[in-house]
Structure 1
């Protein structure tokens, strides 16, 4: 008999990176995301050099997932599949707690996750809200988490994909664009995939695994990984040469 294989332990580290790591070069300002600014007393040029996952945010997604599975209309759609994401950030002294879902429920003409699905969240109780910003269809017309205009490189593929991670960052940018210019104090994000039993979407199946309604193996897709670096750059435009 062949030797028994030891079961692979799941990755429990709450440090999945969204949009690459801090050693990468920012495509918006062309500076290293871990570079220290001139005359800043050792502070980084980018307030958010990398977007990490969070154990607390994963628990928020557990609560939302539980609510989704109790939604009879949603559960009845066995072909439903989407990414759900949550984000917490503090910008210019104000905290934000945002929820978004990828794609669109065409049958109900609404986002998959709605405010009614946000009950029972113990972390930052009562402070969560859904965001559904319009994702630009081309490489132009984008904006950062500080609401500044930015265009993506023409080589970035699938820019029109309405992914949860991108919606969260664009939604944050819409809320902070009129705030006074101060550093982003923190930004964390977590994602999870919801897959109905009859879905045939290979992008969702890739991160789903077998025999479950949802999966922790989800993280930002290739299209998100390429777009996120542009959106998290909070270097002021007048400091970019």
Structure 2
């Protein structure tokens, strides 16, 4: 009797799993259209984007080709991190590819004029070449003032992006704004500061007691940095073009 009930339960579970696998998501056509759009915007093939998102070789192409009918929010969020967009955009519940970061929204001069927000001035570090390992120093002799009415964090500072390691999320020559006081979460983007005070822009994959696992978006394979070599993780709260 017990074995029979267990078998029936397993059959029901398998049936539900099969139904979920074969039942198309209601927004599937929107998902397919917007994945294709973001691939074109990023200049990536479906295979390249899938590999960079750590989703295998065919994830994006399986959706586009109708072989995967019910993609999950979790996997679409991973793909979105590579294609500079949010999962809600794929589902059609968000009109623009990416919502503004928490403290750095797109410039809208009419709103700024109406609310008369005072401009905040923060340090801006102009970055030249990186070291062979991708890290770089924040040199005081390459520091200038950067002013924007859209920055409210008193401890924030800005740096120019030195390479395309984090493209398409952050491209060379853009400015990223860093807030040392804001917490860094798994999957977020941060400035990784080593004990020698050299830094690098990376996506934070995991934070454990003995290591920090980070990722570049345009290379394969995650990188483990011993916790003893990491002085701080400082959250990136937004980016914009340098004007």
TM-score category, normalised to shorter length:
under 0.3
Q: Structure 1 or 2: larger strand share? A: 2
- TM-score between the two structures when normalised by the length of structure 1: 0.27
- TM-score between the two structures when normalised by the length of structure 2: 0.26
Q: Which has the larger radius of gyration?
A: 2
Higher relative contact order (CA 8 A, sep 6+): 1
